[in-house]
Structure 1
Amino acid sequence: MWSEFKKFAMKGNVIDLAVGVVIGTAFGKIVTSLVQDLIMPLVGLLLGGISFSKLSYTFLDAEIKYGIFIQSVVDFFIIAFSIFFVIRLLSRFKKKEEETAPAPAGPTSEELLAEIRDLLKERQQDN
């Protein structure tokens, strides 16, 4: 069982996925800090000194913190746009690689004609 697990864990896809998760988590923390500490305070200043982290609405005994939700939505859009941008960039590089890759070499017209000639000779010999 341990050897099967080692084979699974050492496959390239699993390691790539693990690296992607770690980088994605770190990137998410950076974007959250960017939104909370830079973007939202600037937006709040432009809107008259509003602190989005303190925006809330009290309903009966529940406090609905919609300012934090707005920050999370901004986080999501920044992360989604970043992922879109990276995937778009990677697909362009991949497309350029495919365009520059040489087409598989097929038989030349002389080779095809020689094959046809040989097939015709074989037919004549059979008759």
Structure 2
Amino acid sequence: MKNFFKEFKEFITKGNIIDMAVGVVIGGSFGKIVTGLVENIINPFVGLFMNSGDLANWKTVMEEAVLDPKTGEVVTPEVAFMWGAWIQTIIDFIITAFCIFLVLRVIMKVKNKLDAAKIAEEEKKAAEEKAKADAELEAVKARQAQLEESTLNQEKLLKDIKDILSKK
């Protein structure tokens, strides 16, 4: 049981879980902002053109509500297609999706710029390392050429000494 709670604690304290929780809270608040925009600004504007006053009230009644004639209470509620509420939900979704798209677009542009800078830095570092390796290779080749030349000179000198000694 201790292990279970230990694993749960590790899970809950990971950065991703905390980031997700913050996202849920901000998302909920953002949803309220979008709902307020749709209900308080867009719907009244649309209602002006539909002569209904409010988009949420736009409906097609299939069967009227039945009222008790004595008390005026609803005995059977009306059956209606609530087109306005459905359209309002679609508008909420479109606005939310558009705003999320805009935020993600900005985030991705910043990320791409950072990635491009990181890639450019890595390419520069790789080019510097390649130049350093090439310089070291050239130095090794030059040293090897010197050694070969020295070996040839030694062989020539030994041959000359041998020739001189053989003539005596």
TM-score, normalisation: structure 2: 0.63
Counterpart-to-counterpart distance in 1, 2:34 and 2:49: 21
Farther-moved stretch of structure 1 (20-29 vs 52-61): 52-61
Answering whether residue 34 of structure 2 is matched by residue 45 of structure 1, we say no
Give SS of 2:122's match: coil
Q: How does 1:71-86 map to 2 (within 5 A)?
A: 71-86=88-103
Counterpart-to-counterpart distance in 2, 1:36 and 1:91: 31
Which ranges of structure 2 fall in alignment gaps of 5 or more residues?
64-77, 145-168
Counterpart-to-counterpart distance in 2, 1:45 and 1:25: 29
| Count of aligned pairs between the two proteins | 122
1:103 aligned residue: 122
Cα drift, residue 54 of structure 1: 1.0
Change in CA separation of 1:88 and 1:30 when aligned onto 2, cut-off 3 Å = same
For the 8 Å contact 2:52–2:58, the answer to whether it is kept is no
Counterpart-to-counterpart distance in 1, 2:92 and 2:131: 60
Which ranges of structure 1 fall in alignment gaps of 5 or more residues?
122-127
Cα drift, residue 2 of structure 1: 1.2
Q: Which amino acid aligns with 1:26?
A: S
Moved over 4 A (4+): 115-119
Cα drift, residue 118 of structure 1: 5.2
Q: Larger RCO: Structure 1 or Structure 2 (Cα < 8 Å, ≥ 6 residues apart)?
A: 1
Counterpart-to-counterpart distance in 2, 1:2 and 1:100: 42
How large is the Cα RMSD of the aligned pairs?
A: 2.4
Please, which of 57, 81, 84 is the counterpart of residue 64 of structure 1?
Answer: 81
1:29 aligned residue: 32
Answering whether residue 18 of structure 2 is matched by residue 20 of structure 1, we say no
- Cα deviations by residue, 1:45-76 (Å, 9 ceiling, x for unpaired): 14445421111112245221110111111000
Look at both structures and tell me which one has the larger radius of gyration over its CA atoms.
Answer: 2
Q: Percent identity?
A: 36
